[in-house]
């Protein structure tokens, strides 16, 4: 059938539809654990404790994560939960704590990082390490979203499991690691030295969160990251004869670099739909209904009518193509010297299934210049976890419970987290901070005025605790 006919047939209802997600139901007897908490009081306690955590300066570099690990260890200790701080270097500690279950299933791991990126106080409305709680209940501080807020509610999830003496069918492990923001040495150290005793089947970590008014006003999309793009960090180095700047001579290194970059930037890769993108758009469609809903729930119409929009938005575009981003230059000497070597730095991110070596070969071919060579700084393949999974469903159903204007779906993250390292170990890793934020608030991550509302901390704790109970509590007890 020709394309216009296909489109007509589809508009007439004759093409495949993605169904509303089945998020399952929790065993009803487990609801009593959730109902056993006074969430208003638990929320107030969580806000105060987050304020304290944000005051612990773990800006990396230098990190000083042991201070943050000790803060969380203190909260656990008060609840009678022992923990261990392990350092890969002096002051660079990570925290491991465990609530024992009956071993019926492999452990569930709640992961966060203790370090935060630095903050320049002069650009903030409130000091970045103040942990100030303002009159609106907003908690200010570097790490509020990335990711001390999550680390705190993970810690309190263990605390509440212990306070209520919830019988567990699996161990629940808290892991708060150092150095995520710079070299991932905290996680590397844990994987090398401690993984055999952790060996969890599932991890919840950062990656996705809830965004208010993300696509349509009034609708909150809770995005659970199930996949992360791979990476290829490159130096593209141009060579030529050195010389005097007064007389341009073709073929010199800086000109070659410019030409090569122009070729690289002229590439227009085709959009490739990751299944998670289709699925989440379909859930958005089921939420909004009407004509938009009709289009978004049908893959064929997604291709024809939504792809252009997705490719225009840098955030969604990055989830549909292998990106090559120029992030820096080097090699210049004096203004009047043409150097023999100059370089550009490239940050390339790859879709699942695409190999770094193949993209490198493509770039070599596109540039097609024997005087340009590439140096690989770092590479890793993308990976993904299935969202046909009880823990995914538990996170998803509690994220939207009682919120008629919210939808939830899986996403492919353009950036990577420690989860990229864990999936090859057989772990199902989900990136999900269960806060419903505005786009302005998410701009605070690695930016200025990072903050989170007390309501988000309270609701996020309830979502996480409830999801953990659903998959870790012993049913029938």
- Contacts with Zn ion, residue ranges (CB under 5 A): 146-147, 206
**Residue number, 206 or 322, with CB nearest to Zn ion:** 206
| Strand, coil or helix: 383 | strand
Nearer to Zn ion, 93 or 151 (CB): 151
- Spell out the residues 6+ positions from residue 196 whose beta carbon is closer than 8 angstroms to its own: none
Nearer to Zn ion by C-beta: 222 or 416? 416
CB of 376: closest distance to Zn ion in angstroms? 25
Round to whole Å and give the CA distance between 46 and 455: 10
The CB-of-111 to Zn ion minimum distance in angstroms stands at 11
Cα 456 from Cα 397, distance rounded (Å) = 17
Q: Which residue is nearest to Zn ion (CB)?
A: 146
Q: Compute the least distance from the CB of residue 168 to Zn ion, in Å.
A: 28
Eight-state DSSP code of residue 473: B
Q: Min. distance of Cβ 48 from Zn ion in angstroms?
A: 23
Q: What are phi and psi of 85, to 5 degrees?
A: -110, 125
* Residue 339 contacts residue 332 (beta carbons within 8 Å): yes
Nearer to Zn ion, 147 or 351 (CB): 147
- Residue placing its CB nearer to Zn ion in the complex, 46 or 114: 114
> Cβ closer to Zn ion: 146 or 279?
146
Contact in structure between 310 and 214 (CB atoms under 8 Å):
no
Q: Which is nearer to Zn ion, 117 or 474 (CB)?
A: 117
Q: How far is the CB of 88 from Zn ion (least distance, A)?
A: 18
Q: What's the 3-state SS for 35-99?
A: HCCCHHHHHHHHHHHHHHHHCCCCECCCCCHHHHHHHHHHHHHHCCCCEEEEECCCCCEEEEEEE
What's the min distance (Å) between Cβ of 306 and Zn ion? 29
Q: Which of 416, 419, 437 is nearest to 428 (CA)?
A: 419
Closer to Zn ion by Cβ: residue 235 or 446: 446
Please, what sign has the CA dihedral across residues 273, 421, 92, 81?
positive
State in angstroms the smallest separation of the CB of 228 from Zn ion. Answer: 12
Residue in this structure with the two tokens 């806060």, named with its chain if needed: 435
Nearest approach in angstroms of CB 58 to Zn ion is: 12
Q: How far apart are CA 13 and CA 50, in angstroms?
A: 50
Asked if 161 contacts 467 with a C-beta cutoff of 8 angstroms, the reply is no
């Amino acid at each position: 059938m020709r394309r216009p006919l296909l489109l007509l047939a589809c508009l007439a209802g004759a093409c495949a539809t993605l169904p509303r997600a089945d998020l399952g139901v929790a065993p009803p007897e487990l609801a009593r654990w959730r109902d056993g908490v006074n969430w208003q009081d638990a929320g107030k306690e969580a806000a105060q404790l987050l304020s304290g955590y944000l005051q612990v300066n773990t800006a990396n570099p230098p990190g000083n994560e042991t201070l943050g690990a000790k803060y969380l260890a203190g909260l656990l200790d008060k609840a009678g939960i022992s923990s261990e701080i392990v350092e890969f270097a002096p002051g660079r500690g990570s925290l491991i704590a465990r609530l024992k279950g009956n071993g019926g299933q492999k452990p569930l791991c709640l992961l966060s990082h203790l370090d935060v990126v630095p903050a320049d106080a002069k650009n903030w409305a409130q000091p970045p390490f103040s942990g100030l709680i303002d009159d609106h209940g907003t908690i200010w501080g570097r790490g509020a979203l990335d990711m001390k807020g999550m680390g705190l509610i993970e810690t309190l999830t263990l605390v509440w499991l212990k306070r209520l003496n919830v019988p567990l069918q699996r161990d629940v492990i808290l892991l708060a690691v150092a150095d995520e923001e710079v070299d991932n040495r905290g996680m590397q150290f844990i994987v090398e030295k401690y993984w055999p005793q952790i060996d969890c089947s599932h991890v919840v970590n950062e990656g996705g969160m809830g965004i208010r008014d993300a696509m349509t006003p009034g609708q909150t999309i809770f995005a659970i990251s199930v996949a992360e793009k791979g990476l290829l960090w490159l130096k593209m180095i141009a060579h030529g004869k050195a010389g005097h700047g007064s007389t341009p001579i073709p073929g010199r290194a800086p000109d070659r670099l410019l030409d090569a970059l122009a070729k690289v930037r002229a590439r227009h890769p085709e959009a490739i739909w990751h299944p998670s993108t289709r699925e989440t758009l379909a859930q958005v469609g089921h939420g909004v209904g009407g004509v938009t809903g009709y289009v978004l729930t049908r893959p064929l119409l997604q291709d024809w009518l939504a792809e252009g929009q997705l490719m225009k938005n840098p955030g969604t575009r990055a989830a549909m193509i292998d990106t090559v981003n120029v992030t820096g230059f080097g090699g210049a000497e004096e203004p009047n010297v043409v150097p023999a070597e100059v370089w550009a730095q490239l940050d390339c991110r790859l879709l699942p299934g695409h190999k770094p070596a193949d993209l490198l070969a493509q770039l070599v071919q596109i540039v097609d210049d024997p005087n340009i060579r590439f140096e690989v700084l770092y590479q890793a393949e993308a990976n993904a976890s299935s969202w046909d999974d009880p823990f995914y469903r538990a996170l998803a159903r509690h994220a939207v419970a009682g919120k008629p204007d919210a939808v939830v779906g899986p996403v492919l993250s353009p950036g990577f987290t420690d989860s990229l390292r864990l999936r090859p170990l057989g772990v199902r890793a989900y990136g999900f901070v269960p806060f419903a934020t505005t786009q302005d608030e998410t701009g605070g991550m690695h930016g200025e005025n990072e903050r989170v509302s007390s309501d988000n901390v309270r609701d996020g704790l309830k979502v996480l605790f409830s999801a953990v109970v659903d998959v870790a509590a012993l049913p029938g007890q």
